[in-house]
Amino acid sequence: MTAAQAAWTQVSAFAVSYAFSILGAIILIIAGFIVAGMVEKWVARTLERFPSFDVTLTSFLSKTARYAVLILVGVTVLAQFGVQTASIIAALGAAGLAIGLALQGTLQNVAAGIMLLVLKPFRVGEYVEASGISGTIQTIGLFATEMKTVDGLYILAPNSSLWNTSVTNYSRNAQRRNDLVIGIGYNDDIDLAQETMLALAAGDDRILQDPQPATFVSELGDSAVSVTLRYWTNTADWWQTRLDLTKAAKQAFDEKGISIPFPQRDIHYLPIEKDTAA
């Protein structure tokens, strides 16, 4: 009984001594969760006012603000009970450094993902080429980017590989240029070939007239004269226009008797004189 009474006395004394600390800690925790939720919503609403700001990055930053408030509340609650928070903060810093070194590659992808979402070298739905891979962007995450190739393959590319290299975006600009090069025979009429190609460009509504299409002789090859048609189209029409115009040029050249020669080479045999002395 004496031991029980002593224990009860100690518990009572502890409760009396830390009653206000416990009550204050409870109040701080409740208030901390409320404030953390309010800060998260405020950050999200503020960033959503900027249409160019990515939804993924908005969610990430708002969650980061929430957890930052909760960590601050936790340190304050520990201080209520006389705990030396300086040592705890130092321990958290050391743990964060160790985790950062262990997850160096992952954190590098996160940093690259944030930069991709902020600077936007590509967006969802655009066709890009980077690090030897190409495809249409499906999703831009904090760790990796999902892409889909033209033949339907799925690609998951780490963000660091897309950030630390040159990116070619085929969809960003509204207009694209194309050079359609066709080789004709040396005996064919070059002016007729150029007029035919310009007529094809004028008859296609997808080809822009500003800047105007142009034709020129781009090369005198071994077996053909290369005639080039340079024109501009809207980016969305570029690929199909190239395919249709190539077919139309071949059919028009056939109708007008303009040949598209195969690669050929002239070989001359020189007779070797016999040695009369032999």
Residue 271: inside a domain, yes or no? no
State pLDDT tens for residues 56-75. Answer: 667 777 777 887 888 787 77
Q: Provide the angle, in degrees to the nearest 10, between the axes of the packed helices 55-80 and 2-48.
A: 150
Structure tokens at 186: 């040396």
**What is the extent of the structural domain holding 73?**
17-102
Give, as one character, the DSSP assignment of residue 206. Answer: T
Strands 214-220 and 154-158, bridge-based pairing: unpaired
pLDDT of residue 276: 57
Which of the pair, 65 or 148, is modelled with greater confidence?
Answer: 148
Residue 129: inside a domain, yes or no? yes
Question: Which residues lie closer than 8 Å to 21 by C-beta, 6 or more apart?
Answer: 80, 81
Residue 10: inside a domain, yes or no? no
Question: Which residues lie closer than 8 Å to 42 by C-beta, 6 or more apart?
Answer: none
Residue 43: inside a domain, yes or no? yes
pLDDT of residue 64: 78
pLDDT of residue 65: 80
Domains contained in the chain, number: 3
Q: What pTM value is reported for the model?
A: 0.62
Residue 269: inside a domain, yes or no? no
* SS3 call for 81: coil
Phi/psi of residue 12, nearest 5 degrees: -65, -45
Residue 152: inside a domain, yes or no? yes
Question: Which residues lie closer than 8 Å to 66 by C-beta, 6 or more apart?
Answer: 36, 37, 39, 40
In the chain, count of helices (H) and strands (E)? Answer: 7, 8
Give, as one character, the DSSP assignment of residue 207. Answer: B
Helix or strand run (H / E) with residue 77: helix 55-80
Same domain as 196, residue 163: no
State pLDDT tens for residues 22-61. Answer: 777 778 788 888 888 888 888 778 877 766 666 666 777 7
Q: Inform me whether the pLDDT recorded for 99 exceeds 70.
A: no
On the question of a cis peptide bond just before residue 211, with omega within 30 degrees of 0, the verdict is yes
